[in-house]
Amino acid sequence: MTASFRIACAQLNPVVGDLAGNVALARAARDDARAVAADLVVFSELFIAGYPPEDLILKPAFVAACMEATRALAATTADGGPALLIGTPWGEDGKAYNAVALLAGGRIEALRYKVDLPNYSVFDEKRVFAPGPLPEPVDFAGLRLGLPICEDIWTPAIVGSLAARGAELLISPNGSPFTLKKRAQRLDVARARVAEAGLPLLYINQFGGQDELVFDGASFALNRDGALAAQLPAWETALALTEWRRDAGGWACVEGPSARVEEGREAAYLACVIGLRDYVEKNRFPGVVLGLSGGIDSAICAAMATDALGAARVHCIMLPYRYTSGASLDDAAACAEALDVRYDIVPIHTAVEVFGGMLAPLFKGAAPGLAEENLQSRIRGTTLMAVSNKFGGMVVTTGNKSEVSAGYATLYGDMNGGFNPIKDLYKTQVFALSRFRNERVPKGCLGPGGVVIPENIITKAPTAELRENQTDQDSLPPYDALDDILECLVDREEPLSAVVARGHAPETVKKVERLLYLSEYKRRQAAPGVKITERNFGRDRRYPIVNRFREQLP
Protein backbone atom coordinates (compact mmCIF):
# COMPACT_ATOMS: atom_id res chain seq x y z
CA MET A 1 0.00 0.00 0.00
CA THR A 2 1.13 3.54 -0.69
CA ALA A 3 2.52 5.04 2.52
CA SER A 4 3.11 8.63 1.42
CA PHE A 5 1.72 10.95 -1.22
CA ARG A 6 2.65 14.46 -2.38
CA ILE A 7 -0.10 16.79 -3.61
CA ALA A 8 0.62 20.18 -5.16
CA CYS A 9 -2.18 22.70 -4.60
CA ALA A 10 -2.56 24.98 -7.62
CA GLN A 11 -4.33 28.12 -6.37
CA LEU A 12 -4.36 30.09 -9.61
CA ASN A 13 -6.24 32.86 -11.44
CA PRO A 14 -7.98 31.50 -14.57
CA VAL A 15 -9.83 33.72 -17.03
CA VAL A 16 -13.34 32.80 -18.08
CA GLY A 17 -13.35 31.68 -21.70
CA ASP A 18 -9.56 31.73 -22.13
CA LEU A 19 -9.19 28.01 -22.60
CA ALA A 20 -5.72 28.20 -24.13
CA GLY A 21 -4.50 30.53 -21.40
CA ASN A 22 -5.96 28.38 -18.62
CA VAL A 23 -4.40 25.24 -20.08
CA ALA A 24 -1.06 27.04 -20.28
CA LEU A 25 -1.39 27.92 -16.58
CA ALA A 26 -2.11 24.27 -15.80
CA ARG A 27 0.88 23.05 -17.79
CA ALA A 28 3.21 25.55 -16.11
CA ALA A 29 1.93 24.48 -12.70
CA ARG A 30 2.52 20.86 -13.59
CA ASP A 31 6.10 21.63 -14.62
CA ASP A 32 6.71 23.36 -11.29
CA ALA A 33 5.07 20.50 -9.40
CA ARG A 34 7.27 17.98 -11.22
CA ALA A 35 10.32 19.87 -9.94
CA VAL A 36 9.26 19.18 -6.34
CA ALA A 37 8.32 15.55 -7.03
CA ALA A 38 4.57 15.96 -6.63
CA ASP A 39 2.40 12.94 -7.42
CA LEU A 40 -0.75 14.94 -8.13
CA VAL A 41 -1.59 18.58 -8.92
CA VAL A 42 -5.05 19.77 -7.88
CA PHE A 43 -6.80 22.76 -9.48
CA SER A 44 -9.96 24.69 -8.62
CA GLU A 45 -13.51 24.21 -9.85
CA LEU A 46 -14.12 24.51 -13.63
CA PHE A 47 -10.52 25.65 -14.09
CA ILE A 48 -10.43 24.90 -17.81
CA ALA A 49 -13.44 27.16 -18.47
CA GLY A 50 -12.77 29.73 -15.76
CA TYR A 51 -15.34 30.25 -13.03
CA PRO A 52 -18.18 31.10 -13.20
CA PRO A 53 -18.81 30.54 -16.93
CA GLU A 54 -22.53 31.30 -16.52
CA ASP A 55 -24.54 30.98 -19.75
CA LEU A 56 -21.48 30.07 -21.80
CA ILE A 57 -22.37 26.55 -20.68
CA LEU A 58 -25.58 26.80 -22.74
CA LYS A 59 -23.39 27.18 -25.85
CA PRO A 60 -22.58 23.66 -27.10
CA ALA A 61 -19.48 24.91 -28.91
CA PHE A 62 -18.05 26.18 -25.63
CA VAL A 63 -18.56 22.91 -23.76
CA ALA A 64 -17.09 20.99 -26.71
CA ALA A 65 -14.04 23.27 -26.72
CA CYS A 66 -13.54 22.72 -22.98
CA MET A 67 -13.71 18.97 -23.45
CA GLU A 68 -11.19 19.09 -26.28
CA ALA A 69 -8.85 21.27 -24.20
CA THR A 70 -9.13 18.76 -21.35
CA ARG A 71 -8.30 15.84 -23.66
CA ALA A 72 -5.30 17.73 -25.06
CA LEU A 73 -4.07 18.49 -21.54
CA ALA A 74 -4.51 14.83 -20.61
CA ALA A 75 -2.25 13.82 -23.49
CA THR A 76 0.62 15.82 -21.96
CA THR A 77 0.57 13.56 -18.87
CA ALA A 78 1.95 10.63 -20.89
CA ASP A 79 5.49 11.68 -19.90
CA GLY A 80 5.24 10.12 -16.44
CA GLY A 81 5.08 13.39 -14.54
CA PRO A 82 2.47 14.24 -11.92
CA ALA A 83 -1.17 13.56 -12.60
CA LEU A 84 -3.70 16.40 -12.73
CA LEU A 85 -7.06 16.77 -11.01
CA ILE A 86 -8.78 19.62 -12.82
CA GLY A 87 -12.26 21.10 -13.12
CA THR A 88 -13.99 21.38 -16.49
CA PRO A 89 -17.45 21.42 -18.05
CA TRP A 90 -18.33 18.05 -19.56
CA GLY A 91 -21.06 17.15 -22.01
CA GLU A 92 -22.75 13.77 -22.06
CA ASP A 93 -26.06 12.63 -23.57
CA GLY A 94 -27.12 16.17 -24.33
CA LYS A 95 -26.45 17.40 -20.81
CA ALA A 96 -23.68 19.58 -19.41
CA TYR A 97 -22.03 18.71 -16.10
CA ASN A 98 -19.77 20.54 -13.69
CA ALA A 99 -17.00 17.96 -13.66
CA VAL A 100 -13.61 17.20 -12.24
CA ALA A 101 -11.25 15.10 -14.36
CA LEU A 102 -8.30 12.98 -13.29
CA LEU A 103 -5.64 13.19 -16.01
CA ALA A 104 -2.82 10.65 -15.87
CA GLY A 105 -0.80 8.43 -18.17
CA GLY A 106 -1.78 10.44 -21.23
CA ARG A 107 -5.53 10.01 -20.81
CA ILE A 108 -8.60 10.97 -18.81
CA GLU A 109 -8.56 8.32 -16.10
CA ALA A 110 -11.79 9.35 -14.37
CA LEU A 111 -14.58 11.93 -14.40
CA ARG A 112 -16.80 12.89 -11.49
CA TYR A 113 -19.77 15.25 -11.64
CA LYS A 114 -21.00 17.83 -9.15
CA VAL A 115 -24.16 16.65 -7.42
CA ASP A 116 -25.45 19.64 -5.42
CA LEU A 117 -25.86 22.56 -7.83
CA PRO A 118 -26.25 25.83 -5.89
CA ASN A 119 -29.06 28.11 -6.90
CA TYR A 120 -28.96 30.98 -4.40
CA SER A 121 -27.16 34.27 -3.89
CA VAL A 122 -24.60 34.64 -6.72
CA PHE A 123 -25.01 31.04 -7.89
CA ASP A 124 -27.33 29.87 -10.67
CA GLU A 125 -25.88 26.51 -11.62
CA LYS A 126 -29.20 24.70 -11.96
CA ARG A 127 -29.83 26.99 -14.90
CA VAL A 128 -26.92 25.60 -16.91
CA PHE A 129 -25.77 22.26 -15.45
CA ALA A 130 -27.38 18.89 -14.85
CA PRO A 131 -26.72 17.32 -11.42
CA GLY A 132 -24.52 14.27 -11.34
CA PRO A 133 -25.20 11.01 -9.49
CA LEU A 134 -23.80 10.33 -6.04
CA PRO A 135 -20.13 9.80 -6.89
CA GLU A 136 -17.91 6.81 -6.34
CA PRO A 137 -14.37 7.40 -5.06
CA VAL A 138 -11.60 7.50 -7.65
CA ASP A 139 -8.76 4.97 -7.37
CA PHE A 140 -5.36 6.52 -8.00
CA ALA A 141 -1.85 5.40 -6.98
CA GLY A 142 -3.10 3.23 -4.18
CA LEU A 143 -5.50 5.81 -2.74
CA ARG A 144 -9.26 6.09 -2.90
CA LEU A 145 -10.00 9.76 -3.48
CA GLY A 146 -13.40 11.29 -2.73
CA LEU A 147 -13.98 14.30 -4.96
CA PRO A 148 -16.86 16.47 -3.69
CA ILE A 149 -17.00 19.60 -5.85
CA CYS A 150 -17.53 22.88 -3.98
CA GLU A 151 -21.18 22.89 -2.84
CA ASP A 152 -21.02 19.11 -2.44
CA ILE A 153 -19.17 19.52 0.86
CA TRP A 154 -22.06 21.61 2.18
CA THR A 155 -24.25 18.51 1.82
CA PRO A 156 -23.61 15.82 4.47
CA ALA A 157 -25.17 13.05 2.34
CA ILE A 158 -22.64 13.43 -0.48
CA VAL A 159 -19.56 13.26 1.72
CA GLY A 160 -21.19 10.53 3.79
CA SER A 161 -21.78 8.49 0.65
CA LEU A 162 -18.13 8.87 -0.40
CA ALA A 163 -16.97 7.72 3.03
CA ALA A 164 -19.35 4.76 2.98
CA ARG A 165 -17.99 3.74 -0.42
CA GLY A 166 -14.42 3.62 0.83
CA ALA A 167 -12.95 7.09 0.21
CA GLU A 168 -9.73 7.67 2.17
CA LEU A 169 -9.01 11.33 1.38
CA LEU A 170 -11.42 14.10 0.36
CA ILE A 171 -10.24 16.60 -2.26
CA SER A 172 -12.67 19.44 -2.92
CA PRO A 173 -12.09 21.78 -5.90
CA ASN A 174 -13.83 25.10 -5.23
CA GLY A 175 -14.92 28.36 -6.80
CA SER A 176 -15.90 30.03 -3.54
CA PRO A 177 -16.28 33.83 -3.79
CA PHE A 178 -15.09 36.08 -1.01
CA THR A 179 -17.36 37.78 1.46
CA LEU A 180 -16.35 39.25 4.79
CA LYS A 181 -17.54 36.21 6.77
CA LYS A 182 -16.79 33.49 4.24
CA ARG A 183 -13.54 32.05 5.61
CA ALA A 184 -15.11 31.14 8.95
CA GLN A 185 -18.10 29.63 7.15
CA ARG A 186 -15.87 27.48 4.93
CA LEU A 187 -13.87 26.18 7.88
CA ASP A 188 -17.01 25.41 9.88
CA VAL A 189 -18.56 23.45 7.01
CA ALA A 190 -15.33 21.64 6.18
CA ARG A 191 -14.77 20.64 9.81
CA ALA A 192 -18.32 19.34 10.06
CA ARG A 193 -17.81 17.09 7.03
CA VAL A 194 -14.42 15.89 8.32
CA ALA A 195 -15.95 15.01 11.67
CA GLU A 196 -18.88 13.17 10.12
CA ALA A 197 -16.78 11.22 7.63
CA GLY A 198 -13.67 10.70 9.73
CA LEU A 199 -11.60 11.67 6.68
CA PRO A 200 -9.05 14.41 6.02
CA LEU A 201 -9.91 17.12 3.49
CA LEU A 202 -7.91 19.16 0.99
CA TYR A 203 -9.82 22.28 -0.09
CA ILE A 204 -8.59 24.10 -3.22
CA ASN A 205 -10.06 27.50 -4.01
CA GLN A 206 -9.72 29.85 -6.95
CA PHE A 207 -8.04 33.25 -6.71
CA GLY A 208 -8.79 36.46 -8.61
CA GLY A 209 -11.58 38.67 -9.85
CA GLN A 210 -14.36 37.76 -12.29
CA ASP A 211 -16.82 40.58 -12.97
CA GLU A 212 -18.41 41.37 -9.57
CA LEU A 213 -17.02 38.30 -7.83
CA VAL A 214 -13.63 38.12 -6.15
CA PHE A 215 -12.06 34.82 -5.11
CA ASP A 216 -9.62 35.02 -2.23
CA GLY A 217 -7.91 31.64 -2.55
CA ALA A 218 -6.99 30.76 1.04
CA SER A 219 -6.96 27.02 0.23
CA PHE A 220 -6.37 24.69 3.17
CA ALA A 221 -6.10 21.12 4.45
CA LEU A 222 -7.75 19.60 7.51
CA ASN A 223 -6.75 16.40 9.20
CA ARG A 224 -9.24 13.85 10.57
CA ASP A 225 -9.51 15.66 13.89
CA GLY A 226 -10.40 18.93 12.17
CA ALA A 227 -7.00 20.49 12.87
CA LEU A 228 -5.74 22.92 10.24
CA ALA A 229 -2.82 21.04 8.68
CA ALA A 230 -2.00 23.41 5.82
CA GLN A 231 -3.00 26.97 4.95
CA LEU A 232 -2.25 28.61 1.62
CA PRO A 233 -2.16 32.43 1.47
CA ALA A 234 -5.15 34.52 0.51
CA TRP A 235 -5.12 37.21 -2.19
CA GLU A 236 -2.36 35.73 -4.30
CA THR A 237 -1.64 32.83 -6.59
CA ALA A 238 0.25 29.94 -5.05
CA LEU A 239 1.54 26.49 -5.89
CA ALA A 240 2.10 24.75 -2.56
CA LEU A 241 3.23 21.22 -1.85
CA THR A 242 1.49 19.14 0.81
CA GLU A 243 2.90 15.87 2.12
CA TRP A 244 0.46 13.11 3.11
CA ARG A 245 1.25 9.91 5.02
CA ARG A 246 -0.76 6.89 5.94
CA ASP A 247 -0.86 5.80 9.58
CA ALA A 248 -2.93 3.24 11.46
CA GLY A 249 -5.98 5.50 11.37
CA GLY A 250 -5.72 6.57 7.74
CA TRP A 251 -4.21 9.49 5.88
CA ALA A 252 -2.87 12.71 7.42
CA CYS A 253 -1.29 15.86 6.06
CA VAL A 254 2.08 16.01 7.78
CA GLU A 255 3.65 18.93 5.93
CA GLY A 256 2.30 21.99 4.16
CA PRO A 257 2.36 25.78 4.13
CA SER A 258 1.22 27.84 7.08
CA ALA A 259 0.31 31.24 5.69
CA ARG A 260 -1.30 34.22 7.39
CA VAL A 261 -4.79 34.98 6.06
CA GLU A 262 -5.90 38.61 6.09
CA GLU A 263 -9.19 39.41 7.82
CA GLY A 264 -11.48 42.39 8.40
CA ARG A 265 -10.58 45.75 6.87
CA GLU A 266 -7.43 44.42 5.22
CA ALA A 267 -9.35 41.65 3.45
CA ALA A 268 -12.10 44.07 2.37
CA TYR A 269 -9.56 46.51 0.94
CA LEU A 270 -7.68 43.78 -0.91
CA ALA A 271 -10.93 42.44 -2.36
CA CYS A 272 -11.72 45.85 -3.82
CA VAL A 273 -8.21 46.27 -5.22
CA ILE A 274 -8.02 42.80 -6.78
CA GLY A 275 -11.55 42.98 -8.15
CA LEU A 276 -10.70 46.27 -9.90
CA ARG A 277 -7.30 45.05 -11.07
CA ASP A 278 -8.59 41.86 -12.67
CA TYR A 279 -11.57 43.62 -14.27
CA VAL A 280 -9.17 46.07 -15.93
CA GLU A 281 -6.51 43.50 -16.81
CA LYS A 282 -8.80 40.72 -18.03
CA ASN A 283 -10.73 43.18 -20.21
CA ARG A 284 -7.40 44.56 -21.48
CA PHE A 285 -7.88 48.21 -20.62
CA PRO A 286 -4.60 50.18 -20.66
CA GLY A 287 -5.52 51.96 -17.45
CA VAL A 288 -8.27 53.93 -15.74
CA VAL A 289 -9.59 57.48 -15.55
CA LEU A 290 -11.71 58.91 -12.74
CA GLY A 291 -13.05 62.19 -11.51
CA LEU A 292 -11.20 63.30 -8.37
CA SER A 293 -13.57 65.65 -6.57
CA GLY A 294 -11.81 66.20 -3.28
CA GLY A 295 -14.31 63.87 -1.58
CA ILE A 296 -13.60 60.63 0.20
CA ASP A 297 -15.22 58.25 -2.31
CA SER A 298 -13.19 59.37 -5.29
CA ALA A 299 -10.06 59.56 -3.11
CA ILE A 300 -10.29 55.96 -1.94
CA CYS A 301 -11.07 54.82 -5.49
CA ALA A 302 -7.96 56.65 -6.71
CA ALA A 303 -5.93 54.90 -4.01
CA MET A 304 -7.40 51.50 -4.91
CA ALA A 305 -6.74 52.08 -8.60
CA THR A 306 -3.14 53.04 -7.89
CA ASP A 307 -2.69 50.02 -5.64
CA ALA A 308 -4.20 47.79 -8.32
CA LEU A 309 -2.47 49.09 -11.45
CA GLY A 310 0.37 51.38 -10.45
CA ALA A 311 0.40 55.18 -10.61
CA ALA A 312 1.36 55.34 -14.28
CA ARG A 313 -1.95 53.77 -15.31
CA VAL A 314 -4.22 56.07 -13.28
CA HIS A 315 -5.47 59.41 -14.61
CA CYS A 316 -7.37 61.67 -12.21
CA ILE A 317 -9.32 64.69 -13.38
CA MET A 318 -10.79 67.49 -11.27
CA LEU A 319 -13.89 68.98 -12.93
CA PRO A 320 -14.67 72.17 -10.98
CA TYR A 321 -17.66 74.48 -11.26
CA ARG A 322 -18.72 77.56 -9.31
CA TYR A 323 -19.79 75.48 -6.29
CA THR A 324 -16.48 73.64 -6.04
CA SER A 325 -14.74 74.95 -2.93
CA GLY A 326 -11.13 75.93 -2.65
CA ALA A 327 -10.75 73.19 -0.04
CA SER A 328 -11.93 70.56 -2.54
CA LEU A 329 -9.43 71.81 -5.12
CA ASP A 330 -6.64 71.68 -2.56
CA ASP A 331 -7.67 68.25 -1.25
CA ALA A 332 -7.92 66.68 -4.71
CA ALA A 333 -4.51 68.04 -5.68
CA ALA A 334 -2.97 66.79 -2.43
CA CYS A 335 -4.44 63.31 -2.93
CA ALA A 336 -3.15 63.10 -6.51
CA GLU A 337 0.28 64.29 -5.39
CA ALA A 338 0.41 61.74 -2.58
CA LEU A 339 -0.49 58.94 -5.00
CA ASP A 340 1.86 60.34 -7.69
CA VAL A 341 -0.81 59.94 -10.39
CA ARG A 342 -1.51 62.11 -13.40
CA TYR A 343 -3.81 64.95 -12.39
CA ASP A 344 -5.57 67.41 -14.68
CA ILE A 345 -8.10 70.16 -14.06
CA VAL A 346 -10.88 70.59 -16.62
CA PRO A 347 -13.32 73.35 -15.54
CA ILE A 348 -16.91 72.72 -16.68
CA HIS A 349 -18.15 76.34 -16.49
CA THR A 350 -18.42 76.81 -20.25
CA ALA A 351 -20.34 73.58 -20.82
CA VAL A 352 -22.77 74.27 -17.97
CA GLU A 353 -23.48 77.79 -19.20
CA VAL A 354 -23.98 76.61 -22.80
CA PHE A 355 -26.39 73.88 -21.69
CA GLY A 356 -28.17 76.37 -19.46
CA GLY A 357 -28.63 78.77 -22.33
CA MET A 358 -29.77 75.99 -24.62
CA LEU A 359 -32.41 74.85 -22.13
CA ALA A 360 -33.48 78.35 -21.02
CA PRO A 361 -36.51 78.56 -23.35
CA LEU A 362 -37.78 75.20 -22.12
CA PHE A 363 -37.08 75.97 -18.45
CA LYS A 364 -38.53 79.50 -18.56
CA GLY A 365 -40.60 80.23 -15.48
CA ALA A 366 -39.38 77.15 -13.56
CA ALA A 367 -37.26 77.66 -10.46
CA PRO A 368 -33.69 76.27 -10.61
CA GLY A 369 -33.34 72.96 -8.84
CA LEU A 370 -32.43 69.32 -9.29
CA ALA A 371 -32.28 69.49 -13.09
CA GLU A 372 -29.57 72.15 -12.95
CA GLU A 373 -27.66 70.24 -10.27
CA ASN A 374 -27.76 66.99 -12.21
CA LEU A 375 -26.67 68.79 -15.36
CA GLN A 376 -23.33 69.51 -13.69
CA SER A 377 -22.89 65.85 -12.82
CA ARG A 378 -23.82 64.72 -16.32
CA ILE A 379 -21.37 67.13 -17.93
CA ARG A 380 -18.67 65.70 -15.67
CA GLY A 381 -19.67 62.16 -16.64
CA THR A 382 -19.64 63.02 -20.33
CA THR A 383 -16.22 64.61 -20.01
CA LEU A 384 -14.76 61.52 -18.35
CA MET A 385 -16.29 59.28 -21.01
CA ALA A 386 -14.76 61.48 -23.74
CA VAL A 387 -11.31 61.07 -22.17
CA SER A 388 -11.94 57.33 -21.96
CA ASN A 389 -12.94 57.15 -25.62
CA LYS A 390 -9.92 59.16 -26.69
CA PHE A 391 -7.21 57.34 -24.73
CA GLY A 392 -8.75 53.97 -23.88
CA GLY A 393 -8.69 54.09 -20.08
CA MET A 394 -11.78 52.70 -18.34
CA VAL A 395 -13.81 55.16 -16.29
CA VAL A 396 -13.95 54.16 -12.63
CA THR A 397 -17.23 55.15 -11.04
CA THR A 398 -17.11 55.95 -7.36
CA GLY A 399 -20.52 55.65 -5.64
CA ASN A 400 -20.60 53.80 -2.31
CA LYS A 401 -23.33 51.38 -1.21
CA SER A 402 -25.06 54.00 0.90
CA GLU A 403 -25.49 56.27 -2.12
CA VAL A 404 -26.36 53.38 -4.44
CA SER A 405 -29.02 52.29 -1.96
CA ALA A 406 -30.60 55.70 -1.52
CA GLY A 407 -30.29 56.82 -5.14
CA TYR A 408 -27.98 59.66 -4.11
CA ALA A 409 -26.23 59.58 -7.46
CA THR A 410 -26.93 60.92 -10.92
CA LEU A 411 -27.75 58.49 -13.68
CA TYR A 412 -25.56 59.22 -16.74
CA GLY A 413 -23.49 61.50 -14.53
CA ASP A 414 -21.39 60.35 -11.58
CA MET A 415 -22.79 56.85 -12.21
CA ASN A 416 -20.97 56.75 -15.57
CA GLY A 417 -18.19 54.21 -15.72
CA GLY A 418 -17.15 50.66 -16.40
CA PHE A 419 -16.55 49.38 -12.86
CA ASN A 420 -17.00 50.47 -9.25
CA PRO A 421 -14.58 49.10 -6.65
CA ILE A 422 -16.57 50.48 -3.66
CA LYS A 423 -20.10 49.63 -4.84
CA ASP A 424 -20.59 47.18 -1.95
CA LEU A 425 -18.99 49.37 0.76
CA TYR A 426 -21.24 51.50 2.93
CA LYS A 427 -20.07 55.06 3.57
CA THR A 428 -18.97 54.24 7.11
CA GLN A 429 -16.86 51.39 5.69
CA VAL A 430 -15.31 53.81 3.19
CA PHE A 431 -14.20 56.02 6.09
CA ALA A 432 -12.77 53.02 7.95
CA LEU A 433 -10.87 51.70 4.91
CA SER A 434 -9.50 55.16 4.14
CA ARG A 435 -7.97 55.34 7.60
CA PHE A 436 -6.70 51.78 7.22
CA ARG A 437 -4.98 52.59 3.91
CA ASN A 438 -3.28 55.60 5.44
CA GLU A 439 -1.85 53.32 8.13
CA ARG A 440 -0.30 50.70 5.87
CA VAL A 441 0.19 49.43 2.33
CA PRO A 442 -1.51 46.02 2.08
CA LYS A 443 0.44 43.19 0.49
CA GLY A 444 0.70 43.23 -3.28
CA CYS A 445 -0.46 46.85 -3.55
CA LEU A 446 1.49 49.10 -5.89
CA GLY A 447 0.76 52.50 -4.37
CA PRO A 448 3.02 54.50 -2.07
CA GLY A 449 3.11 54.34 1.70
CA GLY A 450 2.15 57.05 4.11
CA VAL A 451 -0.96 59.23 4.06
CA VAL A 452 -2.45 58.95 0.58
CA ILE A 453 -5.94 60.21 1.49
CA PRO A 454 -5.45 63.61 3.14
CA GLU A 455 -6.91 63.91 6.62
CA ASN A 456 -9.13 66.81 5.60
CA ILE A 457 -10.88 64.58 3.05
CA ILE A 458 -11.72 62.12 5.82
CA THR A 459 -12.86 64.64 8.42
CA LYS A 460 -14.83 67.21 6.40
CA ALA A 461 -18.59 66.93 5.89
CA PRO A 462 -19.38 64.97 2.70
CA THR A 463 -20.91 67.06 -0.07
CA ALA A 464 -21.74 66.74 -3.77
CA GLU A 465 -21.08 70.51 -4.21
CA LEU A 466 -23.89 70.97 -6.72
CA ARG A 467 -25.28 74.07 -4.97
CA GLU A 468 -24.18 76.58 -2.34
CA ASN A 469 -23.36 75.14 1.10
CA GLN A 470 -24.69 71.70 0.20
CA THR A 471 -23.93 68.65 2.36
CA ASP A 472 -25.07 65.05 1.98
CA GLN A 473 -27.01 65.33 5.22
CA ASP A 474 -29.32 67.92 3.61
CA SER A 475 -30.93 64.96 1.82
CA LEU A 476 -29.91 61.91 3.83
CA PRO A 477 -29.81 60.88 7.50
CA PRO A 478 -26.35 60.89 9.13
CA TYR A 479 -24.33 58.07 7.62
CA ASP A 480 -23.99 56.05 10.81
CA ALA A 481 -27.79 55.94 11.11
CA LEU A 482 -28.37 55.52 7.38
CA ASP A 483 -25.93 52.63 7.10
CA ASP A 484 -27.43 50.83 10.07
CA ILE A 485 -30.92 51.14 8.56
CA LEU A 486 -29.68 50.00 5.16
CA GLU A 487 -27.88 46.98 6.58
CA CYS A 488 -31.17 45.97 8.18
CA LEU A 489 -33.24 46.51 5.03
CA VAL A 490 -30.77 45.39 2.34
CA ASP A 491 -28.40 42.89 3.91
CA ARG A 492 -30.80 41.24 6.35
CA GLU A 493 -34.30 42.01 4.95
CA GLU A 494 -35.55 42.86 8.43
CA PRO A 495 -39.09 44.16 8.98
CA LEU A 496 -39.46 47.90 9.54
CA SER A 497 -40.62 47.33 13.11
CA ALA A 498 -37.31 45.65 13.93
CA VAL A 499 -35.39 48.58 12.43
CA VAL A 500 -37.39 51.06 14.49
CA ALA A 501 -36.73 48.93 17.57
CA ARG A 502 -33.01 49.60 17.10
CA GLY A 503 -33.70 53.23 18.00
CA HIS A 504 -34.39 54.81 14.62
CA ALA A 505 -37.29 57.22 14.17
CA PRO A 506 -40.20 55.65 12.23
CA GLU A 507 -40.30 58.55 9.75
CA THR A 508 -36.58 58.14 9.05
CA VAL A 509 -36.94 54.41 8.44
CA LYS A 510 -39.87 54.98 6.09
CA LYS A 511 -37.92 57.66 4.23
CA VAL A 512 -34.97 55.32 3.72
CA GLU A 513 -37.29 52.53 2.58
CA ARG A 514 -38.88 54.90 0.07
CA LEU A 515 -35.51 56.01 -1.32
CA LEU A 516 -34.38 52.39 -1.55
CA TYR A 517 -37.38 51.34 -3.65
CA LEU A 518 -37.42 54.47 -5.82
CA SER A 519 -33.82 54.06 -6.92
CA GLU A 520 -34.15 50.47 -8.16
CA TYR A 521 -34.19 51.67 -11.77
CA LYS A 522 -30.88 53.44 -11.26
CA ARG A 523 -29.22 50.34 -9.85
CA ARG A 524 -30.29 48.32 -12.89
CA GLN A 525 -28.19 50.68 -15.00
CA ALA A 526 -25.23 50.96 -12.66
CA ALA A 527 -21.76 49.65 -13.44
CA PRO A 528 -20.74 46.32 -11.92
CA GLY A 529 -18.68 46.46 -8.76
CA VAL A 530 -16.85 44.28 -6.27
CA LYS A 531 -19.03 42.11 -4.02
CA ILE A 532 -17.77 41.85 -0.45
CA THR A 533 -20.95 41.53 1.64
CA GLU A 534 -23.41 38.68 1.90
CA ARG A 535 -26.00 40.62 -0.11
CA ASN A 536 -24.86 43.01 -2.81
CA PHE A 537 -26.86 44.83 -5.46
CA GLY A 538 -26.95 42.95 -8.75
CA ARG A 539 -26.22 39.28 -8.22
CA ASP A 540 -27.80 38.95 -4.78
CA ARG A 541 -30.63 41.47 -4.53
CA ARG A 542 -32.89 41.58 -7.57
CA TYR A 543 -36.04 43.57 -6.94
CA PRO A 544 -38.61 44.53 -9.59
CA ILE A 545 -38.41 48.12 -10.83
CA VAL A 546 -42.18 48.40 -11.06
CA ASN A 547 -43.15 47.64 -7.47
CA ARG A 548 -45.92 49.20 -5.39
CA PHE A 549 -45.38 47.14 -2.26
CA ARG A 550 -44.53 49.17 0.83
CA GLU A 551 -44.38 47.66 4.27
CA GLN A 552 -46.66 49.31 6.81
CA LEU A 553 -45.55 50.26 10.29
CA PRO A 554 -48.15 49.77 13.06
Residue numbering of the annotated binding site for L-glutamine = 120, 176, 182
In this structure, the number of other CB atoms found within 10 A of the CB of residue 268 comes to: 24
What's 26-84 look like in SS3? HHHHHHHHHHCCCCEEECCCCCCCCCCCHHHHHCHHHHHHHHHHHHHHHHHHHHCCCEE
Residue numbering of the annotated binding site for ATP = 291-298, 398
Phi, psi of 227 (to 5 degrees): -70, 140
Beta sheet of 169-174, edge-to-edge order: 138-140, 143-146, 169-174, 201-205, 220-222, 228-231
Catalytic site residue 150? yes
Q: Omega before 52 cis (within 30°)?
A: yes
State the catalytic residue, choosing from 150, 272, 301, 335.
150
What's 329-370 look like in SS3? HHHHHHHHHHHCCEEEECCCHHHHHHHHHHHHHHHCCCCCCH
CA dihedral 35, 41, 43, 49 (to 10 degrees): 80
Q: Which amino acid is at 529?
A: G
State the catalytic residue, choosing from 9, 114, 212, 262.
114
Q: Which amino acid is at 512?
A: V
Residue numbering of the annotated binding site = 120, 176, 182, 291-298, 374, 398, 403, 522
- Sign of torsion over alpha carbons 329, 330, 333, 339: negative
Distance CA 176, CA 295 (A): 34
CB 167 within 8 A of CB 144: yes
Which residues are annotated as catalytic? 45, 114, 150
